[in-house]
Every structure is written in structure tokens, then in C-alpha cells.
Amino acid sequence: MINAIVLAAGKGTRMKTDLPKCAFPILEKPMINYIMDALDKTKVEKRIVVVGYKKEVFYDLLKNNCVFATQENQLGTADAVKAALNYLDDGITLIIPGDTPLINYEKINSLIETELALKKDITILTTFLDNPTGYGRIIRENGKIVRIAEEKDAYEDEKLIKEVNTGIMVVDNKFLKEAIHKIDNNNFKKEYYLTDLLKFTTDIASIILDDNDILYGINDLYALSRVEDMVRRNILKKHMLNGVNIINPESVTIYPDVVIEDGVTILQGSFISGNTIIKKGAIIGPNSELHNANVLENAKVKHSVVYDSRIGKGATVGPFAHIRMNAIIGEGNRIGNFVEVKNSILGTTTKASHLSYLGDSEIGNNVNIGCGSITVNYDGKKKSKTVIGNNVFVGCNSNLIAPIEIKDNAFIAAGSTITDNVDDNDLAIARSRQINKKGYAKKYK
């Protein structure tokens, strides 16, 4: 059995908030979830997450994705691992800090495969840093690792060593369960160091990390922002290598769970988050914001906001449109500047080119919504629905007072306030007769 222990019990006092450090969001996704996603692609079969401070936060975040062990008092990494011992099955265990969101599954698998092949007591992931301050130094004799000297306990000559411990290791469970109880806290910090496992064995292997960005520590909100930028760049790189044309990537943000097919173009200033899916040939931007959006083939979203909605094939949205709350924009639609569509379904080849509000509506095919027209869906107490059939023409500056139904092929005259249903092929006019008062304009000048 291949187990994993994720260490997430710490508070992270330098973050200066009440949220546990490992639960902090990076591009809206909790830090620990990046590690869990990486473990999904590895050989790990069982996960134990060690929690402590505000552990209920992790219960909600991870739910049925792992087993939880509780470290009642933060007495060091060895003490945290002790809390998980009763949950371990026979075999080997990956131990990884919960604040290493940049770790990738390939490196985890390489570490696990090395341990499986060599059958050592411990296999450690190390790396070389030009400035190793703050990290435990790898002490070797005749090329073999003999111990790890933590920063505050290291001798001055040991502090010159540039090979450091990443905090990630794989251990044999039989050895772990015997040796961990021998660890004491006779050190500067009076903590139980997991690295002291090396005192009880010489059967140690290591592999070297070749990407030190993975090791970037998160101890405060500034460091968090640096890691977030690294994550953002990695996401953009992945999409571009998969055939997504991203213009001026420095100005574009794409969140980790977004799915984009090859052949899509993302223009500068765009922000794409949530579970958004963008299909081939679509063009997003410039300066567009999408969240939980489903954009189908060859659709265009320009200078606009789309939340929790679907944009159909070949439809165009924007500039300066707002699509939200489960709106469905049909194939070939034209949603133009300063149009808002909320909780509405639009059929194919329907147009609302400018300055309109369509809320709580069901609109058919080939409908024209004139400039300034709105569905009046709220009477101050409840929302009501507007239903518009196929081939309907709604003239400019019309108010459709819901609940109301406009049937197929009807024509609404410009400037009308429609309060009653309109039948097939009818022309509806609802406006006062014009009266010109001779000479009255002089009174207002």
C-alpha cells in the first residue's frame, strides 16, 4: 500500500488572518487542493491529512477525499506524523507539507518509484539553493546522507552547504513506526523534527529536485502572491503548449480548473475563472471576465462579463454586455453593447444589439429586441416571466410588463408599454397620443 501524509495542522501566524495557512486560496483554489490534485495523478492509494488549527475548515474543503488525523498541539513535524500512524496501512508513505502547492505529480511519482525500487528506509527529495538560509542542510559523508542539520541547530560550516531538505520524503512504514518514537526535542526550537529519523538509519536514498520554484515557501501574504503568480504562469504555459493563442499573457489570468480547447484565442486583459469551458475557435477578449461560463465553438466575447451562463455556437457578445445567472445565449445570437441578460433562454439568430435588459425571459428564434427595450420582471414583491415566440420584432424603447407572452410573428411598436398578451401575427401599440401645445415652449426658456 502506498500512503500519503499531508501536514496541514499549522496556523501560519505570519499570514495574519484566522484562516489556516494550508487553506489559503491561490487563484480561488485552496492551497492544499493543489497537493490533492497532484496526488490524484500519482500511485498514492490512501491519504491522511494531519489537521489541527481550525480543522473544520479542512473537513469542508476535502470532505470524503481523505482520512483526517488531528495534531492537538503543534509540537513539530514528527509529532504531526505520530498523529497519523494509526491510519497507515503496511507499505510505504509519502510525507509532504501542505504548503507546497507547486509540487507536481511527476516528481512525487519519481520519489515513490525510487523508494519502491531501492527499498530503503527513507528516500528524500533534496535540492541545491544559492541561498539556503532557513532550510535544513543535507549532511553527507563519503557521498552518503547521514543526517539533516536544521538551520538553527547547524554549525557555521554546515550553514555553507547548499544542498537542502525539501521537506518531502518517502519512508518505509515498518521503520517509521519504530523510529519515530525515538525522536526527542533536544534542539533549539524544542520541537520534534521529522528529519531526526535519519539518526536511526543509514539506509537512505535521495533524488534531486531540478525546479526550485516548487520549493518556494509560503509564510506570509507577500510570499503567497509570489506563488500565485508562479501558478498563473504555469497555467498559461500549459494552455499555450496545448494550442491556445494567448495574446499578451502577462495581462491574462486563467484559473486552474478552466478547460480550454486548442484553437481558442484569448486576448489581453481577460480574466477566466471557475469551471469555465471554452470550445474550439472561440475568441475571448480583450478585457473580458468569465466565471463558470460555457462558451461554444466560434463564439466571441468582447469587453464583456459572463457568469454562470452559456454562449452558443457562433454567437457574439459585447462589447460591454453582462450575461449572468444561468442565461443561455443561443446559436448565432448577437448580444451587443450595454445589454444585460439574466436567467433567460434565447433561441437561435436572435438579436439584442444595444441598451436592453432581458431578465427571467424565454425568447424564441430570430427575434429582434430593439434598442432600449426591457422585460419588466419585478413588481417590487416577486419576479415574473416574459415569453417571446419566434420571429417577433420588439421596437425600440418598449417595456414588456411580466408576466406576459408575445406569440410568434408579433410586432411591438416602438415606445410601447405592453401589459397584455399579444397573439400570433398581431401588431401591438401601447403609447399615448401625441399632443402639441402651440407656443408652450416659450414658457420653459
SS3 85: helix
User: In this structure, what C-alpha cell is assigned to residue 295?
Assistant: 462558451
**Interstrand relation of 245-246 and 322-324 (parallel, antiparallel or unpaired):** unpaired
Contact between 126 and 206 under an 8 Å Cβ cutoff? The reply is: yes
Angle between the N-to-C axes of helices 55-62 and 31-40, in degrees from 0 to 180, rounded to the nearest 10: 40
Helices (H), 156-220: 173-179
Spell 325-347 as b/e; 16+ CB within 10 A means b.
eebbbbbbbbbbebbbbbbbbbb
How far apart are the C-alpha atoms of 348 and 7, rounded to whole Å?
52
Residue whose C-alpha is closest to residue 214's, from 265, 262, 143, 164: 164
Helix (H) or strand (E) holding 407: none
Spell 175-193 as b/e; 16+ CB within 10 A means b.
bbbebbeebeeeeeeebbb
Contact between 168 and 97 under an 8 Å Cβ cutoff? The reply is: yes
CB neighbourhood size of 393 (10 A): 18
Catalytic residue of the set 239, 303, 322, 354 = 354
Q: How buried is residue 420: exposed, middle or buried, by Cβ count under 10 Å (0-12/13-18/19+)?
A: exposed
Q: What dihedral angle (degrees, nearest 10) is formed by the CA atoms of 4, 8, 9, 15?
A: 170
User: In this structure, what C-alpha cell is assigned to residue 135?
Assistant: 532550510
> Which residues, including other chains, have CB under 8 Å from residue 227's CB and lie 6 or more apart?
26, 101, 102, 216, 218
> Which residues, including other chains, have CB under 8 Å from residue 128's CB and lie 6 or more apart?
162, 163, 164, 208, 212
Residue 291 a catalytic site member = no
User: In this structure, what C-alpha cell is assigned to residue 199?
Assistant: 539518526
Active site residues: 354
